[in-house]
Amino acid sequence: MSIATKVVDEEFRALPLTALADAALSAARAAGAEYADLRVHRLVQQSIRLRDGRVESVGDSTDLGFAVRVIVDGTWGFASHAALTAESAVEVARRAVTVASTLRALNRERVELAAEPRYDGIEWVSAYEIDPFAVPTPEKVALLQDYSDRLQAADGVDHVTANLLQVKEQTFYADTFGSRITQQRVRLHPQWEAITVDPSAGVFETMRTLAAPAGRGWEYVTGADGTWDWAGELAQMPGWLAEKVKAPSVTAGPTDLVIDPTNLWLTIHESIGHATEYDRAIGYESAYAGTSFATPDKLGTLRYGTPIMQVTGDRTQVNGLASVGYDDEGVAGQQWDLVRDGVLVGYQLDRVFAPRLGLQRSNGCSYADSAHHVPIQRMANVLLQPDRERDTSTAELISRVRDGLYIVGDKSWSIDMQRYNFQFTGQRFFRIRDGELAGQVRDVAYQATTTDFWGAMEAVGGPSTWVLGGAFNCGKAQPGQVAAVSHGCPSILVRGINVLNTRAEAGQ
């Protein structure tokens, strides 16, 4: 097994990166571009899926190409190609200039880029120990089978699925300001799901592992150095599943909730992460999943939640899925406030949108998922901060509730086109009675508006409750692009949130 040496793989570094940059940037300038950048993008992926311990599929793919962006008379132009040759770079640069010149007549607002220091000869590698692509596939399958067998051996578990998605993303960026940056990120998502079936009743129930996708390596799947307690979780899942099957249906109505980070991350993603993307807030992005209620006229005044609510955007969080050394416009990764003391104070921005908000610098939120897609403003890791003055435990939050629910794990979700009205379910729901857990209930969804929900947050847990969740599949733009993003948060206590009985809502 190979341990990462914290340098970009030689296979990528050996590509003609400098030659491509020199050819493309020179050709763009010669053709009339006032600015140009080149991005080489390589995406290596492997997915493994097992059902009941048997391999259903193993898929490997590699996507490689380069793109050139230019600004001509204040207008963007873009073109890309799969062949990494100096001749292609010249052709693509000229084509990008032609695109910009053609579009100039339609452009209503000149492109202006926020300033950024020059980064020449920089190399950055994400935080992982063991490169999953250096681990033989049979070894990976054997571990997936071992974990699957542990689940399936338990009473009441009829089927087990296992999925492992692994990604290595490598980029080279160069621009006419003089920056040249090479980066490598590794991320993966291991997941097991146990299924129980009642043939006589024609119903089934499921329960998944809670480990989130992460910017880690193979050590995450093995649980090395305490990255995840797979043995402990797999041993407990059958009992939780058996209890869930027999659990009574929830009583609908206003309910106090203690929400675990394994569920809350998704609420943060939908109600804060997307809502504080500046392009949504100004209506620039609206065709795919809508705009945002958190418009710039409310910046500094919108009461997003209670004063204990502190939310940061972060492109530097260790093991974060959206963590980078530099974004796809050559902007260094940063941390900044989105919500401070419960008030909206910031947005996620790229180099074009920063000046429109009156800021001198982008906070580094530009990303494209392919060489053949234009970089757009994408989500940073959006993090709800814990209570750093007192390390309140989840058990302490539960002890404050006389009659309520403790929600663990994510499942389905729904939110409106302005990121305001939402509904979320979960994996497990425990009844709270007089400050203690009193068994599971089922058929639960919680529903609120964004500001009502965060305005009902009475307490946040301390650092010991803080967990980094996230997803591989955040979608945006047309043509659609997919980005991976993490959201860290503590457990929280919210009062009087409307709980629905999903079975009754479905007329069952």
Question: Is residue 2 one of the residues assigned to a domain?
Answer: no
The DSSP output letter for 427 is S
Half-sphere exposure at residue 462, Cβ-oriented, CA atoms within 13 angstroms: 9
198 within domain boundaries: yes
| Contact yes or no for 463/443 (Cβ under 8 A) | no
| Together in a domain, 176 and 267 | no
Q: Where are the alpha helices (DSSP H) in 31-159?
A: 86-103, 137-152
**Distance of alpha carbon 380 from alpha carbon 365, whole angstroms:** 6
458/380 same-domain check = yes
User: Per residue in 72-125, pLDDT tens?
Assistant: 999 999 999 999 999 999 999 999 999 999 999 999 999 999 999 999 999 999
CA neighbours closer than 13 Å in the CB half-sphere of residue 488: 27
Give the pLDDT confidence score for residue 3 in this predicted structure.
41
Which domain CATH number covers 164?
Answer: 3.30.2290.10
408 contacts 210 by C-beta, under 8 angstroms = yes
Residues of the chain where predicted confidence (pLDDT) is lower than 70: 1-5, 201
427 and 377 assigned to the same domain: yes
- What pLDDT shows up at residue 4? 43
* Residue 71 maps to a domain: yes
Last residue of a domain, one of 246, 269, 300: 246
End position of a domain, from candidates 217, 246, 275: 246
Number of domains in the chain: 2
The verdict on residue 4 lying in a domain is no
Q: Tokens standing for 395?
A: 């058990």
- Residue 409 has a pLDDT of 98
The pLDDT, as a whole number, for residue 198 is 83
What pLDDT is stored for residue 508 in this prediction?
78
116 and 174 together in one domain: yes
* Residue 273: closest CA among 106, 447, 483: 483
Both tokens of 58, joined, read 């193993």
Are the CB atoms for 178 and 146 separated by under 8 Å?
no
Which residue range is the domain that position 395 belongs to?
Answer: 253-505
Q: What residues have CB less than 8 Å from 201, skipping those under 6 apart?
A: none
Q: Where are the extended beta strands (E) located within 152-179?
A: 159-175
Residue 354 belongs to some domain of the structure = yes
Residues in the chain: 508
Residue 5 forms part of a structural domain: no
User: Greatest CA separation found in the chain?
Assistant: 74
Those residues whose C-beta lies under 8 Å from the C-beta of residue 146, and which sit 6 or more positions away, are: none
For residue 499, the surrounding DSSP H or E stretch is strand 492-501
Q: Which tokens sit at 340?
A: 């401070």
d(CA 148, CA 51): 8
Residues 212 and 145 occupy one common structural domain: yes
Residue 6's pLDDT is: 79
The verdict on 314 and 214 lying in the same domain is: no
Residue where one domain finishes, among candidates 200, 220, 246: 246
Say yes or no: 323 and 429 in one domain: yes
* 223/268 same-domain check: no
d(CA 283, CA 459): 33
Q: What is the token pair recorded at 418?
A: 């302005």
272 and 242 share one domain: no
Strands (E), 341-480: 343-344, 366-367, 376-377, 381-384, 403-408, 413-415, 421-424, 428-433, 436-441, 444-449, 457-460, 467-476
Question: Do 177 and 264 belong to one domain?
Answer: no
Give 14: exposed, middle or buried? Use CB within 10 Å, 0-12, 13-18, 19+.
Answer: exposed
Domain membership flag for residue 211: yes
Bridge partner residues of 206 (DSSP): 195
> What's the pLDDT score for residue 200?
74
Would you give the DSSP letter of residue 130? B
What is the model's pLDDT at position 2? 37
**Is the domain of 284 the same as that of 228?**
no
String of DSSP letters for 340-378: ETTEE---B--TTHHHHTT-SS--S-EE-SSTTS--EE-
pLDDT at 199: 82
Tell whether 203 is covered by a domain: yes
Distance CA 41, CA 37 (A): 13
Judge if 346 and 385 occupy the same domain. Answer: yes
